[in-house]
Chain A
Amino acid sequence: MASTLLTSKHVAYIQSLDTKRDRLDYHLTSHLRLSGVYWGLTSLHLLNHPTALPRSETIDFVKSCYHPSSGGLGASPGHDPHLLYTLSGIQILATIDALDEIDGDKVVEYVSKLQNPDGSFSGDEWGEVDSRFVYCALSTLSLLGRLGDAPGVSAEGAVGFVLRCLNADGGFGMAPAAESHAGQIFTCVGALKIAGVFEKSLSEDQVNLLGDWLCERQLPNGGLNGRPEKLEDVCYSWWVLSSMAMIGKLQWIDREKLVEFILSCQDEENGGIADRKGDVADVFHTVFGVAGLSLLGYEGLKEVDPVYCMPKDVTDRIVWNHRKILTT
């Protein structure tokens, strides 16, 4: 079992993903490709190999997913625009400092049209509602520097909806009264953080209860699950940990055991990280494993921003530093 992070294997694994076009699973994952590129790119940046994917091809691919008529991005060329992939596209461009390659006004227009009267956001014109889409919307707007300047968007309404998703157990669900789930907690806490209202929205007791729920996700094997009585899974190393980092309770996790768990899920031969030991690796679990290790302070990794799941130097450059100037 690997006791260190196999950085060069993971880099090679991510680089190989786009060369498997003759395989069925390549085609069967076209509906999430743009997110796949974001996961791969973010992994590479955190692994300190920021140029391992060709920059101009990456920009071209993002642009090929863009729908000029609506302003949204789809997962691949020919796929409908969706908030999930719009965020992924913007995250990619932000990370490689290429936001000027896309018409920001048009993207803002797309996002604003997806807000519902109750403050929630739909994922696409078809109307699916989920608290994670509030996160997608606010994250996209803030990366474009347009959070306070998005005509037709009510940040207050969005915050109100997120707070209605808060449960008695301290967690958040995908809709009001829906079961608490670590993935939804990440998006809800993230949305409140991006909107700049987290501290005034939750009392100290509520934050402690949430932290209690989150650290209860750690199982004796060191891994984290996403809900009570479910199995551990590497992606929750991100959803749970980033939430704990955002609320300042990271110290409640047994770091050593979690690091050991994540490392044990690496594919030692071909690179990549799987959901749990012995399963097939994929780029989704690779980025969340690497990002989790970064939050845990693992040596040699770049610092990740728990709110955006992007390199911290990138979000400092385009979001946080800018905000500091605004508020001082």
Chain B
Amino acid sequence: MNPTPLYSYASDPAWADLLPLPQDDGQYPLAQIAYTEEYTEAMSYLRAIMAKNEHSPRVLQVTAHIIEMNPAHYTIWVYRAKTLFALSATGEVQLGRELEFLNDLALRHQKNYQIWNHRQTVVEAIAAAAAPAEQEQLVREEKEFMNRMFEQDGKNYHVWSYRQWLVRRFEAWDGELSFVSALLERDVRNNSAWNHRFFVVFGGGGMDARQQGEGEVVEEVVEREIAFIEDAVFIAPQNASAWNYLRGVLKKVHRPLSSVESMCLGYAPLDNPDKITSSHALDLLADIYAEKREEHGKAVKALELLAAKFDPIRANYWNYRVGLVKASV
């Protein structure tokens, strides 16, 4: 194994004016082993160019090369961004081209977050100089690209954070509900999508467009959400995300937990434990019954079933809850 680099800065006339600066590793000389050569050569040319504080098109070349090998190297990203904005100011570079570079990179480096950070600064800069129609186009394309990312990993935390930034930044709430519904249809267990749904439906700025004054949510929206949850739970009764979402909705709109008692009983008939299909329904029932003193017996029963049979790894937690119910008598 001796992969010779296809490209070498040393043999490219465009770089001949620079004296490469090797890493100063103190007392340890850098061992020159074949497969580290490509990386260390590129780095030493970048150091030379940074030492001159040069912001020229070839910075984009060498940073792209290093980023390809090591996309988490944050210092390189910062230098690339500075160069990009300097070149864009003089018209030497179109920022839109940077997004194409990032698309390709992001698809191949799913775990990297510097890419998204950088993308945010680039999009911000493009938007600052764009007419409203161009901004809309930009947002549309950003959403399309994210959809491609979500096809590979629907739970990518960096992409979701970026999406929420984009939606807020450009007031781009249109289409978010149908987008997230489609994702949940594909994978009803996608907690990230459930979280985004909460953000879209209840998240502050009147995004659902059907909220009344003082942030009060209209009845119709609540009914729609509960119906959506009922469908989701029907498909996957043991899906924590949907049940968590249900609790979130009820709390947000100040409805009592007891309003969903019959739904819970469908998945956790206390008098027929063999038919129980959801530990989360049991959990919710325990909370519902804990609220009424005369039903404390049922609450304890639900919790004991959880501790003994349906979620024994968390027995300590369920027993603690039993203690709370008994203490509240």
Contacts and interface: CB of A to CB of B under 8 A. Distances in A.
A64 B27 CA distance: 13
Contact of B78 (A27, A126, A178, A181): A126
B150 interface: no
B248 A215 contact: no
Interface in B296-312: none
Nearest to B37: A24
Contacts, number: 131
Contact of A24 (B24, B36, B157, B161): B36
B251 A228 contact: no
B252 A168 contact: yes
B54 to A, nearest CB: 16
A72 B317 CA distance: 43
Contacts of A31: 70, 72-75
A254 B314 contact: yes
A126 B117 contact: yes
A229 B241 contact: yes
Interface string B23-58: 111101011010110011001000100000000000
A150 B315 CA distance: 45
A21 B28 CA distance: 8
A168 B248 contact: yes
Nearest to A31: B73
Contacts of A23: 33, 36
Interface stretch (B92-100, B128-136, B177-185, B187-195): B187-195
A211 interface: yes
A169 interface: yes
A126 B75 CA distance: 10
Nearest to B51: A78
B203 interface: yes
Most B CB contacts (10 A, CB to CB) among A178, A222, A251 go to: A178
A301 interface: no
B75 A169 contact: no
A149 B207 CA distance: 41
Given A179-B191, A216-B240, A229-B241, A254 B69 contact: no
A227 B155 contact: yes
A100 interface: no
Interface in A294-315: none
A167 B161 contact: no
A1 interface: no
B31 A22 contact: yes
A215 B31 contact: no
Interface in A47-74: 64, 74
B199 interface: yes
Contacts of B117: 126, 128
A47 B80 CA distance: 41
B23 A169 contact: no
A77 B121 CA distance: 26
A78 B21 CA distance: 11
Interface in A194-246: 211-213, 215-216, 218-220, 222, 227-230
Contacts of B196: 179
**Chain A contact surface mostly:** loop
A211 B321 CA distance: 12
A14 B3 CA distance: 30
B143 interface: no
Contacts of B198: 167-168, 177
A213 B248 CA distance: 13
A168 B78 contact: no
B105 interface: no
A180 B167 CA distance: 19
Interface in B65-106: 69-70, 72-75, 77-78, 81
B164 interface: yes
A319 interface: no
A222 B161 CA distance: 30
Contact of A124 (B26, B74, B247): B74
A260 interface: no
B35 A24 contact: yes
A78 B240 CA distance: 46
A229 B191 contact: yes
A30 to B, nearest CB: 8
B75 A27 contact: no
B110 interface: no
B81 A126 contact: yes
A317 interface: no
Given A22-B36, A177-B203, A251 B195 contact: no
B241 A228 contact: yes
Contacts of A167: 195, 198, 248
Given A228-B191, A229-B191, A251-B316, A32 B240 contact: no
Given A22-B33, A31-B73, 11 more contacts: A22-B30, A22-B36, A24-B33, A31-B70, A125-B78, A168-B244, A169-B248, A175-B165, A177-B195, A178-B164, A257-B313
8 contacts: A22-B33, A79-B74, A79-B75, A124-B78, A167-B198, A215-B314, A216-B240, A229-B189
Interface of B: 23-26, 28, 30-31, 33, 35-36, 39-40, 43, 47, 69-70, 72-75, 77-78, 81, 117, 121, 155, 157, 160-161, 164-165, 189-192, 195-196, 198-199, 203-204, 240-241, 244, 247-248, 251-252, 313-317, 320
Report, nearest first, the 5 A-B pairs whose CB atoms are least far apart: A22-B31, A168-B248, A179-B195, A252-B317, A228-B191
